[in-house]
Every structure is written in C-alpha cells, then in structure tokens.
Amino acid sequence: MKILTLLRHAKSGWDDPALRDFDRPLNKRGRRAARTIGREMRSRGIDFDAVIASPAARVVETLADLADGYGRPIHADYDERAYLATAAALLELVRQADDGADRLLLVGHNPGLESLALLLTREEEGDGLRRVLAEKYPTATLAEIALPIDHWHDVEAGAGRLSRFIRPRDVDPELGPEDA
C-alpha cells in the first residue's frame, strides 16, 4: 500500500504586479492556513517519507509555514517539473518516486493537483469526499489517496481511494471563503 498526499499551496498575494508568477509570496491568510493545516496534519498523524514540491515561492513558503504548524522541518525535493504541471506531468513525477517511500507528499498548484486527484480516485459509496473535491480544491487543501500498489510506477487511473480531503475552513471556519 502506498499513500499519496496532495497539498495545494496556500493563498498567495497579487500585490506586486511586477513580480513573475513564480515569485509570488503567500499573503497573511495563506500563511495562517498553511500553519493550520500543518497542525491538523500533526494532530491526525498524517506523515510522509518523501516530499516532491514545485520550487515556486508560494510553495516554498507554504512548506515553511506548514512545518511551523507541523512541529518539525519538512525537507522537500524541489522539482521544476511540478511548477504549474498538468495531471499527466504530476502523475509521471509520482511514478518516478522512490519505492522506499510508502507515503509521498506532493505539493504544487491547481488545476494539476485537482485533476490528478480526480484521475487517481473513484467515487466511494457514502463518503462523498470525491464530490467535494470535484466542486473545488481550495488553496492549502490536503487530499490523501490510498493506493493498493507496492511500487509507485504502478499507479493507474482510478486505482486510488480518497481517504481524506481537508480544507483550511474545515479546521478553522475563519479560513473559509472570503465572500462568505
């Protein structure tokens, strides 16, 4: 069994129009959400053996704040192929992961992460998590997918089960949609 955890970067700022997209930092709300999700991961015992992440500033900052909440450093393998990657490109990164890691954390961007989560999972009777994911995959949201495989290169479409979908607003209602 392998566990793939997908984490979308936290909310970033658009304050400086001169900044390249790659260099956009998190805003205050995003930093708070990342710390909140880190604490929630720790309290639920969500762990990982390896981390692959986009090197974009907002992802690097998300991981730093996540680590603050989680209570320990998070050492990521920053891979440029994860920056704004499609589901197909992200799937290839997962398939190339080291089999020594049973629990992989992949941190990046939408729409690629959402598309990958939908590609890898199927709707389970009664839980409705996948329907919630299909509606919207907000920033700083975590999706955990259980895969009945022994080797990452065996990941197939529809083979996984979405076991968790944790949005910042699920943990702290103040982190819900700003227009709510």
Q: What residue spans define the domains of the chain?
A: 2-12+25-175
Q: Which residue has the tokens 């440029």?
A: 80
CA dihedral 144, 145, 148, 151 (to 10 degrees): -80
CA-nearest of 113, 138, 130, 116 to 164 is 130
- Which residues lie across from 77 on neighbouring strands? 52
Condensed to tens digits (0 to 9), the pLDDT of residues 69-115 reads: 999 999 999 999 999 999 999 999 999 999 999 999 999 999 999 99
Amino acid, res. 23: D
Q: Is the pLDDT of residue 127 over 80?
A: no
Percent of the chain with pLDDT over 70: 97
Average pLDDT, the chain: 95
> Which helix (H) or strand (E) is 51 found in, with range?
strand 50-53
Q: What is the CATH number of domain 2-12+25-175?
A: 3.40.50.1240
pLDDT of 82 reads 98
pLDDT category at 180 given cuts 50, 70, 90 is: very low
List the structure tokens of 75: 């050492």
- Cβ atoms of 119 and 96 within 8 Å: the answer is no
CB of 129 within 8 A of CB of 164? yes
